[in-house]
């Protein structure tokens, strides 16, 4: 399996403070990795490091074969990050936001309509300025950006947050489709019940390090339930 993410003893800084304190992680193309852990464990920092937004100060760090310390610009073009914040322009509509992101990435706009359809942003909703949308609709628009851009690595920070049941199910199918198309997916979550069944592998973070790695539940059916019992929600600090 080709590696999408390769971190070895990676240390990354958020400002002047260490956000990752020696992380070892390999993620293959077509693989889904769920990252669990309590607040402040370093989950978001891990995603931001993989996206080339946080500087790596020591250790090995490569994304899609590009050294994160030498060529962060190349990395950024090839990853898609769904952060806590939607990263949308309030005055622009869903259609305009997605179209801008796709054009910025230098790819054709032919996938924009299909991406908005997939996320249920149809009719007048796609021509509504984002500032007039609900939190869930904004989240859907941000996901539509990812679908339209089709990055080689999907970095999803709590993708289920603020979504209704239908949209949560949609996130599951988007993750599965991305992995099936050969993209790597790294997602963080406070909800193991939602994230573990989607993942090939689950890693648990604490204090900026990866403490434990287990098989995930993707394609394993009932194995996912056994995993949830084994990890234990209290063990990963989930409220």
> According to the binding rule CB under 8 A, does residue 106 interact with another protein?
yes
Q: Helix 135-149 to helix 94-104 angle, to the nearest 10 degrees? A: 30
**Rounded Cα gap, residues 20 and 32, in angstroms:** 21
Q: What would the x/- binding string for another protein be over residues 118 to 147, using CB under 8 A?
A: -----------x------------------
Cβ-based nearer residue to another protein, 69 or 76: 76
Among 8, 103, 127, 132, binds another protein (CB under 8 A): 103
Among 1, 104, 114, 230, binds another protein (CB under 8 A): 104
Distances (CA, A) of 106 to 52, 99, 211: 19, 11, 39
Query: How far is it, in rounded angstroms, from Cα 145 to Cα 230?
Result: 35
**Piece in contact with another protein (CB under 8 A), picked from 37-45, 77-85, 213-221, 223-231:** 77-85
Q: Which is nearer to another protein, 61 or 202 (CB)?
A: 61
Q: Measuring CA to CA, how many Å separate 185 from each of 3, 10, 27, 134, 181? A: 12, 19, 8, 26, 11
Q: Which of 29, 22, 21, 23 has the alpha carbon at shortest distance from 4?
A: 29
According to DSSP, residue 127 is labeled: G
Rounded to a whole number of angstroms, the distance between the first and last alpha carbons of the chain is: 35
Q: Pick from 198, 202, 196, 206: which is nearest to 179 by CA?
A: 198
Query: Which range in 97-105, 108-116, 167-175, 209-217 contacts another protein by CB under 8 A?
Result: 97-105
Q: DSSP letter at 129?
A: B
Q: To the nearest whole angstrom, how small is the minimum distance from the Cβ of residue 103 to another protein?
A: 6
Q: Which of 13, 18, 26, 89 binds another protein (CB under 8 A)?
A: 89
**Any contact of residue 67 with another protein (CB under 8 A)?**
no
Q: Quick one: which segment of 50-58, 119-127, 194-202, 219-227 binds another protein (CB under 8 A)?
A: 50-58
Contact 167, 140 (CB under 8 A): yes
Asked if 162 touches another protein (CB under 8 A), the answer is: no
Task: Give the count of residues interacting with another protein (CB under 8 A).
Answer: 27
Identity of the residue, 48 or 201, whose beta carbon is nearer to another protein in the bound complex: 48
Contacting positions for another protein (CB under 8 A): 51-53, 73, 76-77, 79-81, 83-92, 96, 100-101, 103-106, 129
């Amino acid at each position: 399996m080709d590696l999408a993410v390769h971190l070895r003893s990676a240390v990354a800084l958020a400002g002047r403070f260490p956000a990752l304190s020696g992380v070892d992680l390999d993620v293959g193309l077509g693989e889904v990795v769920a990252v669990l852990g309590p607040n402040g464990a370093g989950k978001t920092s891990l995603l931001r490091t993989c996206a080339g937004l946080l500087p790596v100060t020591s250790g090995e760090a490569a994304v899609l074969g590009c050294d994160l310390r030498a060529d962060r610009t190349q990395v950024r073009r090839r990853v898609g990050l769904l952060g806590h914040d939607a990263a949308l322009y309030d005055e622009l509509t869903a259609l305009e936001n997605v179209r801008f992101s796709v054009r910025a990435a230098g790819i054709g706009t032919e996938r924009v309509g299909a991406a908005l359809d997939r996320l249920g942003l149809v009719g007048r909703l796609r021509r509504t300025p984002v500032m007039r949308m609900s939190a869930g609709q904004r989240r859907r628009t941000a996901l539509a950006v990812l679908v339209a851009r089709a990055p080689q690595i999907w970095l999803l920070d709590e993708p289920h947050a603020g979504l209704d049941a239908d949209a949560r199910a949609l996130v599951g199918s988007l993750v599965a489709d991305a992995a099936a198309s050969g993209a790597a997916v790294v997602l963080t979550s406070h909800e193991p019940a939602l994230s573990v069944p989607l993942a090939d592998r689950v890693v648990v973070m604490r204090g900026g390090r990866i403490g434990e790695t287990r098989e995930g539940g993707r394609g394993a059916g009932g194995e996912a339930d056994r995993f949830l019992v084994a990890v234990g929600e209290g063990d990963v600090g989930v409220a």
